[in-house]
Chain A
Amino acid sequence: MTALHSRAIGRDLLRRDGRLKVTGTAPYAYEGPLGKPAYCHLIQATIARGRVTGMDTTSAQAIDGVITVLTADNAERLASTEDNELAVLQSDEVAFRGQIIGAVIAETSEVARHAAGTVQVTYAQEPHDVELSVDRADLYKPYKINPAYPTDTADGDVAAAMASAPVTLENTYTTAMYHNNPMEPHTTTALWDGSLTMWDSTQGVHSARSVIARVFGFDHEQVRVVCPYVGGGFGSKGTPHAHVVVAVMAARATPGRAVKLALTRQQMFFLTGYRTPTIQKMQLAADRDGHLAAIALDVVEQTSRIKEFAEQTGMPTRSMYAAPNRRTTHRLAALDVPVPTWMRAPGECPGMFGPEVALDELAEQLGLDPIELRIRNEPSVDPDSGRPWSSRNLIACLREGAERFGWAERDPAPGVRRQGDWLVGTGVAASVYPTYRMAVSTATLRYERSRYVVEIGAADLGTGTWTTLPQIAADALGVDVDDVDARIGDTDYPIASVAGGSSGMSTWGSAIVEAARAFRDKFGTDPADGDEAEGSVSPPTGKYAMHAFGAQFVEARVHADTGEIRVPRLLGVFAAGRIINPRTARSQFIGGMTMGLSMALHEQSVLDPRFGHVVNHDFADYHISVCADVGDVQAHWIDEYDPHVNAMGSKGIGEIGIVGTAAAVVNAVHHATGVRVRDLPVTLDKVLAQLTPN
Chain B
Amino acid sequence: MTRITVMVDGVSYVDDVEARTLLVYYLREKLGKIGTVVGCDTSNCGACTVHLNGRSVKSCSIFAIQADGSEITTIEGLARDGQLHPMQQAFHDNHALQCGFCTPGMIMQAIDLLGDDPDPDEQRVREGLEGNLCRCTGYQNIVRAVLDAAQKMKPAASAPDEMSTRQPSAVAGGGN
- With CB as the reference atom, state the residue of chain B lying closest to A234: B135
B20 touches A110 (CB 8 A): yes
Partner of B139, one of A24, A108, A230, A594: A594
Instruction: Report yes or no: A185 in contact with B39, Cβ–Cβ below 8 A.
Output: yes
Cβ–Cβ < 8 Å partners of B99 in chain A: 182-184, 229-232, 461-462
Contact between B47 and A23, CB atoms less than 8 A apart: no
Of B87-95, B153-161, B162-170, the one touching chain A: B87-95
**Structural contact, B135 and A627, CB atoms closer than 8 A:** no
> Whose C-beta in chain B lies nearest to the C-beta of A183?
B101
Q: Hey, which chain A residues are within 8 Å of B92, CB to CB?
A: 14, 18-19, 22
Q: Which of B34, B78, B93, B138 has the most CB of A within 10 A?
A: B138
Q: Do most interface residues of chain B lie in helix, strand or loop, or is the interface mixed?
A: loop
B132: which A residues are within 8 A, CB to CB?
626-627
Q: Whole-angstrom distance between the alpha carbons of A593 and B135 in the complex?
A: 11
Confirm or deny: A264 has a beta carbon within 8 angstroms of a beta carbon on chain B: yes
- The chain B residue sitting closest to A590, CB to CB, is B138
Indicate whether A110 sits within 8 Å of B25 (C-beta atoms), given known contacts A22-B84, A587-B137: yes
Cα A144 to Cα B132 in complex, Å, equals: 40
Which A71-121 residues sit within 8 Å CB-CB of chain B?
108-110, 114
A480 touches B (CB below 8 Å): no
Is A298 an interface position by the 8 A CB rule?
Answer: no
A592 to B78, CA, bound (A): 31
Instruction: Return A354 CB to nearest CB of chain B, in Å.
Output: 25
B contact residues around A583 at 8 Å (CB): 95
CA distance A60 to B41 in the complex (A): 23
Q: Once bound together, how far apart are the Cα atoms of A27 and B101, in whole Å? A: 10
Please tell me the size bucket of the interface on A: 35 or more
A660 on interface, CB distance cutoff 8 Å: no
Interface string of A579-620 (1 = CB under 8 A from B): 000011001101111110000000000000000000000111
A628 within 8 Å of B (CB atoms)? yes
User: CA of A463 to CA of B78 in the docked complex: distance in angstroms?
Assistant: 26
Residues on A with C-beta less than 8 A from B129 are 626-628
The answer to whether A24 and B35 touch (CB under 8 A), given A232-B99, A619-B133, is yes
Q: Which of A110-138 contact B (CB under 8 A)?
A: 110, 114
Q: Does B56 contact A (CB under 8 A)?
A: no
**Contact A15–B95 (Cβ < 8 Å):** yes
| Max chain A Cβ within 10 angstroms of own Cβ: one of B37, B78, B84 | B37
Closest 7 CB pairs of A and B: A24-B35, A462-B99, A21-B100, A462-B98, A231-B101, A594-B138, A24-B75
**Contacts beyond the supplied A20-B100, A462-B97, A590-B141: 19 A-B pairs with Cβ under 8 Å:** A21-B103, A22-B75, A23-B76, A23-B88, A25-B35, A26-B100, A31-B34, A182-B99, A183-B39, A183-B47, A184-B99, A231-B37, A461-B99, A584-B95, A587-B98, A594-B139, A627-B130, A627-B134, A633-B138
User: What are 7 A-B contacts defined by CB distance under 8 Å?
Assistant: A22-B107, A26-B100, A184-B37, A232-B135, A591-B138, A618-B42, A619-B40
Interface residues of A (CB under 8 A from B): 14-15, 17-28, 30-31, 108-110, 114, 181-185, 229-232, 234, 262, 264-266, 461-464, 583-584, 587-588, 590-595, 618-620, 624, 626-630, 632-633
